[in-house]
Amino acid sequence: MSLRVLDAGLLTTVQDAGRVGWAHLGVPRAGYLDRAAATFANRLVGNPVETALLETTLNGVAVRLERAHTVAVTGARCDVRADGRALPQDEPVTLRRGTELRVGPARSGVRSYVALAGGLDVPPVLGSRSTDTLAGVGPPPLVTDDRVPVGRPHAAPVWSPTSGRAAHEPGVLRVLPGPHVDWLQDPDRLDGARGRVGAESNRVGLRVLGADLRRRAGEVPSEGVVLGAVQLPPSGEAVVFLNDHPTTGGYPVVAVVHPDDLGWCAQARPGDEVVLRLC
């Protein structure tokens, strides 16, 4: 049971809940960036929420099903077609063997999630099937003509009216003061700081440009950093660390993003406005 990749798109990777517990050895967690959207997709097809699925980036993916499968597509809004026929997002659909499934470019958001009943059965590395784009751990990003094995279905698919989208105000990231907030020349500017998403954002980190968070000169000793940490290099362009972030860093961590708001970071497009709010 497998699927064949017809068009891998800009960046399509296999992701699950990540390889938690290896940071002390320098291995990032990886895993799906938009947790709500990915776990929703898995629930729709009857998978445990941590099951491996596809994560697309901006321009989607096209695959051919080599067996009949139940699939669901969530996350970034896009056109989904099976042999040219329009399919809904956020609902499970059973498709016959040989169907060409195309997940189109994102109209809003960045990353769509494609779950298949049974999950993607690539070999796990350190307990996870996730692609790590920074450390190169796990399966490499998909390329055209790849064949990806699919496991046996776990349970009957379910339908839920829940969209899996974050409920907080778009563009507002709730933050807690970081361990180096005193490196800011004016710590009061952290609450309400405004910027925009930079084009160099990726699975490693979301770049925030123009937030005018000025810091004092120097560097901190390299130390461990966590998911959601907001690092502030000398340039003043903040970086919110996402799932493929390095496990250590030598720039001040002035804030940490609330875990429930990291899904917005996964779907933020270059130019989107960002507002930091202390919580």
pLDDT digits (tens, 9 = 90+) for 147-193: 999 999 876 666 555 555 544 567 999 999 999 999 999 999 999 99
Q: Is the pTM of this model over 0.85?
A: yes
Closest by CA to 235, choosing from 258, 213, 266, is: 213
Exposed/middle/buried for 212, CB within 10 Å: 0-12, 13-18, 19+? exposed
Residue 167, pLDDT score: 46
Residue 159, pLDDT score: 57
More confident residue, 167 or 96: 96
Per-residue pLDDT band at 218 (split at 50, 70, 90): confident
DSSP string, the chain: -EEEEEE--S--EEE-S--TT-GGGT------S-HHHHHHHHHHTT--TT--EEE--SS-EEEEESS-EEEEEEEEE--EEETTEEE-SSS-EEE-TT-EEEE---SEEEEEEEEETT-B-PPPBTTB----TTT--SSPPP-TT-EEEB----S-----S------SPTTEEEEEE-TTGGGBSSGGGGTT-EEEE-TT--SSEEEEES----B-SS-PPPEE--TTEEE--TT--EEEE-TT--SEESS-EEEEE-GGGHHHHHHPPTT-EEEEEE-
Is pLDDT above 90 for 127? yes
More confident residue, 2 or 6: 6
Q: Which two tokens stand for residue 34?
A: 């938009």
More confident residue, 98 or 236: 98
Residue 1, pLDDT score: 73
Residue 18, pLDDT score: 97
Query: Which of these ranges, 11-15, 78-82, 233-237, has the smallest mean pLDDT?
Result: 233-237
Task: Name the strands in the sheet holding 108-116, side by side, starting at the edge strand that comes first in the sequence.
Answer: 13-15, 53-55, 108-116, 69-77, 93-95
Residue pair 143/151 in contact (Cβ under 8 Å)? The answer is: no
Calculate what percentage of the chain has a pLDDT beyond 90: 87
Residue pair 186/227 in contact (Cβ under 8 Å)? The answer is: no
Is pLDDT above 50 for 42? yes
Residue 259, pLDDT score: 95
Q: Which residues of 171-203 are buried (b: 16+ CB within 10 A; e: fewer)?
A: eebbbebbebbebbeeeeebeebebbbbeebeb
Residue 50, pLDDT score: 96
Residue 266, pLDDT score: 97
Query: Which of these ranges, 31-35, 44-48, 151-155, 228-232, has the smallest mean pLDDT?
Result: 151-155
Residue pair 43/115 in contact (Cβ under 8 Å)? The answer is: no
- Which residue is listed with tokens 């296999």? 14
- Which residue is listed with tokens 């930079």? 198
Domains of the chain listed by start with CATH number: 2-149 (no CATH), 172-278 (2.40.100.10)
Is pLDDT above 60 for 96? yes
Residue 236, pLDDT score: 85
Distances from the Cα of 133 to the Cαs of 3, 33, 159, in angstroms? Answer: 22, 12, 32
Q: Which two tokens stand for residue 227?
A: 């998911």
Calculate what percentage of the chain has a pLDDT beyond 70: 95
